[in-house]
Amino acid sequence: MRATAAAAARREAAARARAFAEADARALDGLVSVRPRQAVPRPQPVWDDAEMLVHEPAGERYRRLVLASSSIAHTALAGQFLMITVPPHAGDTILLPRPMAIHRRRPATADQPGTVELIYGVVGRGTRALAAVPVGGTLQVTGPLGRGFEFETGTRSALLIGRGVGICGVMGAAEDAQAAGIRTTMVLSGQRPEQLLGRADCAELGVRVIAVTDDDGSSDLVTLSAGLRAEFDGATPERTPPDVVMVCGAGVLARLAAELGAHWGVPVQASLEAHMACGLGYCHGCAAPVRTDASVEGPLVCADGPVFDARIPVD
């Protein structure tokens, strides 16, 4: 019976969504903290009317957006994000701008404006309306925002881990790593091989890729953890642990990275998400999952993150 199948599918989806949210919250509980004051000053965010140069499908389930904004492309740091104002679409008005990670930054050249590239999944009202915006117009964006991934001076090697659209969160770090000559491995995780983002980017940046998927079971957390431990077990000079782990994906993935970091004794940086309104630090909408006492407002994902230190709690 069709209706029964639909109802069953709905119940399953609801169960998955609940289980995911609960696992995420559990995994992040006590895991992250604000990093000490940063060395590089953050760029002043601007708002810009950015021309939409490209807006096309990317892989099986995402959309790629290339925006011309020399100012933002020039100043954005790895792991920073933009707030995208979604224009009204056929009577539907989207009130809140949507935070999106800056996947790639391409500074202006003599004859080309600087661009930023974003990749997003069409999941709800906001991204559905965004997907309908045609190339050629301008999109209003505010950024670059937040505190991103930071390499300590002297870093020689890095392990980056991204899952799904979270790959965009860490790709800026891959760009910085390449520029700084840091030996980098990137784990690309996703449901199916056809959905994996970032292969071409990694090739362009000379980043070694470990692709894992749900399809063949390689993305399973236990399997992945074991594989990475084996990969960086110190048996040969090429197999020494990375100097830093950077991760963007679900909470359980951040926890996995923190466990690896603890195992190897290296710092871990994790990029988080939160519902946002201003992106600038004044609306207090984006509380970070950091335990604080009830009389103190905790850190904010948009201003103190989105990238936090991730460490397995000792309590």
Ligand X SMILES: Cc1cc2nc3c(=O)[nH]c(=O)nc-3n(C[C@H](O)[C@H](O)[C@H](O)COP(=O)(O)OP(=O)(O)OC[C@H]3O[C@@H](n4cnc5c(N)ncnc54)[C@H](O)[C@@H]3O)c2cc1C
Those residues whose C-beta lies under 8 Å from the C-beta of residue 164, and which sit 6 or more positions away, are: 121, 189, 190, 191, 195, 197, 249
Torsion-angle region of 79 (φ positive above 0: left; ψ -120 to 50: alpha; else: beta): left
Which segment (11-19, 114-122, 176-184, 196-204) binds ligand X by CB under 6 A?
114-122
Residue 285, interface with ligand FES (CB under 6 A)?
yes
Rg (CA), the chain: 19
What is the torsion angle, in degrees rounded to the nearest 10, for the CA atoms of residue 173, residue 177, residue 183 and residue 189?
Answer: 20
Return the amino acid letter for 191. Q
Positions 249 through 288 that interact with other proteins (CB under 8 A): 274-278, 280-287
DSSP for residue 78: T
Annotated binding site for [2Fe-2S] cluster: 278, 283, 286, 302
Binding piece for other proteins, criterion CB under 8 A, among 63-71, 156-164, 168-176, 208-216: 63-71
> By C-beta, is 101 or 182 nearer to ligand X?
101
Q: Is 214 helix (H, G, I), strand (E, B) or coil?
A: coil
User: What's the closest the beta carbon of residue 287 comes to ligand FES, in angstroms?
Assistant: 8
Helices and strands (H and E) in the chain: how many: 8, 14
Among 30, 43, 113, 121, the residue binding ligand X under the rule CB under 6 A is: 121
The answer to whether 311 and 273 have CB atoms below 8 angstroms apart is: no
Q: How far apart are CA 100 and CA 118, in angstroms?
A: 7
Pick between residue 97 and residue 305 the one whose CB is nearest to a second copy.
Answer: 97
Out of 248, 257, 276, 307, the only residue in the binding site for ligand FES (CB under 6 A) is 276
Judged by CB under 6 A, the chain residues 222 through 281 that form the site for ligand FMN are: 277
User: Is 19 one of the binding residues for ligand FMN (CB under 6 A)?
Assistant: no
Among 120, 149, 151, 232, binds ligand X (CB under 6 A): 120
User: d(Cα 27, Cα 93) in Å, to the nearest integer?
Assistant: 35
d(CA 76, CA 81): 8
Residue 95's binding partner, choosing from ligand X, a second copy, other proteins, none, with beta-carbon cut-off 5 to 8 A by kind? other proteins
d(CA 173, CA 191): 23
Stretch near ligand X under the rule CB under 6 A, chosen from 32-40, 108-116, 235-243, 271-279: 271-279
Convert 44-60 into a string of H (helix), E (strand) and C (coil).
Answer: CCEEEEEEEEEEEEECC
By CB under 6 A, residue 278 contacts ligand FES: yes
**Choices 2-10, 125-133, 153-161, 221-229 (CB under 6 A): range interacting with ligand X:** 125-133
Chain residues in the site for other proteins (CB under 8 A): 3-4, 7-8, 10-11, 13-15, 17-18, 21, 44-49, 69-75, 85-86, 91-97, 108, 114, 125-126, 140, 142, 274-278, 280-287, 289, 292-298
Q: Which residues bind ligand FES (CB under 6 A)?
A: 276-279, 281-286, 300, 302-303
